[in-house]
């Protein structure tokens, strides 16, 4: 037994040195991030996308809270210019001559989709035919009285529709005016004869599945048709700031314009058309 005791005593200093070396070795550095809030305003058409982006970003960067507010595009731009938010997702740009230029980056190619109640007998339309309907000159089709549904003043979707379809002509005053894309879809879905328009970003949700999307000039607003300009009512969606973003706003912008953010945008721009038989 004595040799074993002696050996153990000789090993003790070595073990102590090893313990000290392990204790003094560099340990992984844990960095505690300071909680921060990013303020984001979105045009109504970009609302669902903004919420999806915010949730995904907070999962990747849990110390960041992304606050999202949704207004029409004109109001969203006003909030951005007033300094009330850090970034904006805009569907239409104001044309005020006195306004300072914004920092802008196109993040998606959207389209204005023409939607009808499933019972409307129209199978397709064209720009001139659509203009006649929204002017009130074409009031029925196949024995069904048409009910025109439009958006409120300041809506980027309304501005894009009127620019592409109406030109200088006015929408009929007998049309129903709705304050949001969701309200348009809900009204069209429950009103026989209703015809309106929304961003393609709204077609993938539950409300979008209750209406039928009409081909315009023989094309549906699919991502491919928007990319090759075969659909006649395309538009760009913009990430905007009053100046080139810095800090957390810059990090969010880079993420949104990168692979992960673009995958989310691409997924929301895909939708399944509801056939005429429905």
The pLDDT value recorded for residue 32 is: 58
Confirm whether 201 is domain-assigned: yes
**Same domain assignment for residues 73 and 118:** no
pTM of the model: 0.84
Higher pLDDT, 5 or 57: 57
Do β-strands 64-71 and 36-43 pair in parallel, antiparallel, or remain unpaired?
parallel
The pLDDT value recorded for residue 38 is: 98
Could you give the CA distance from residue 265 to residue 200 in angstroms, rounded to a whole number?
A: 11
**Same domain assignment for residues 247 and 191:** no
Domain that holds residue 227: 111-234
Confirm whether 1 is domain-assigned: no
Q: What is the average pLDDT value for the chain, to the nearest integer? A: 88
Do β-strands 194-199 and 147-151 pair in parallel, antiparallel, or remain unpaired?
parallel
Find the mean pLDDT for residues 175-197: 96
Confirm whether 79 is domain-assigned: yes
Report pLDDT digits (tens) over 228-271: 999 999 999 999 999 999 999 999 999 999 999 999 999 998 87
**Same domain assignment for residues 143 and 93:** no
**Same domain assignment for residues 167 and 129:** yes
Confirm whether 21 is domain-assigned: no
**Same domain assignment for residues 227 and 240:** no
**Same domain assignment for residues 165 and 229:** yes
Residues 6+ apart with CB under 8 A from 170: 135
**Same domain assignment for residues 129 and 158:** yes
**Same domain assignment for residues 105 and 240:** yes
**Same domain assignment for residues 128 and 139:** yes
The pLDDT value recorded for residue 99 is: 76
Confirm whether 274 is domain-assigned: no
The pLDDT value recorded for residue 26 is: 59
The CATH number covering residue 156 comes to 3.40.190.10
Report pLDDT digits (tens) over 115-169: 999 999 999 999 999 999 999 999 999 999 999 999 999 999 999 999 999 999 9
**Same domain assignment for residues 86 and 186:** no
| Residue of 260, 258, 270 whose CA lies nearest to 223 | 270
Confirm whether 246 is domain-assigned: yes
Could you give the CA distance from residue 222 to residue 111 in angstroms, rounded to a whole number?
A: 8
Task: Give yes or no for residue 278 having a pLDDT over 70.
Answer: no
Tokens representing 245?
A: 């973003």
Residue with tokens 């998606």: 108
Report pLDDT digits (tens) over 23-47: 555 555 555 578 999 999 999 999 9
């Amino acid at each position: 037994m004595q040799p074993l005791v002696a050996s153990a005593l000789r090993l003790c200093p070595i073990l102590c040195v090893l313990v000290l070396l392990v204790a003094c070795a560099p340990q992984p550095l844990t960095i505690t991030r300071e909680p921060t809030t990013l303020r984001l305003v979105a045009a109504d058409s970009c609302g669902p996308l903004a919420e999806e982006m915010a949730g995904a970003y907070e999962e990747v960067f849990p110390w960041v809270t992304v606050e999202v507010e949704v207004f029409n595009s004109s109001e969203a731009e006003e909030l951005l210019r007033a300094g009330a938010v850090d970034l904006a997702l805009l569907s239409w740009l104001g044309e005020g001559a006195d306004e300072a230029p914004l920092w802008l980056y196109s993040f998606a190619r959207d389209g204005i989709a023409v939607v009808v109640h499933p019972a409307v007998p129209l199978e397709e339309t064209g720009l001139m035919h659509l203009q006649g309907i929204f002017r009130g000159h074409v009031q029925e089709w196949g024995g069904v009285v048409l009910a025109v549904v439009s958006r409120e003043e300041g809506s980027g979707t309304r501005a894009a529709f009127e620019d592409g379809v109406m030109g200088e002509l006015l929408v009929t005053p007998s049309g129903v005016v709705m304050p949001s894309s969701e309200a348009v879809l809900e009204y069209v879905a429950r009103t026989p004869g209703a015809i309106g328009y929304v961003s393609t970003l709204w077609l993938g949700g539950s409300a979008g599945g209750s209406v039928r999307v009409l081909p315009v000039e023989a094309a549906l607003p699919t991502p491919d048709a928007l990319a090759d300009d075969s659909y006649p009512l395309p538009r760009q969606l913009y990430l905007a700031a009053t100046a080139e973003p810095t800090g957390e706003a810059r990090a969010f912008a880079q993420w949104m314009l990168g692979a992960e953010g673009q995958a989310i945008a691409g997924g929301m721009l895909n939708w399944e058309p509801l056939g005429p038989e429905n």
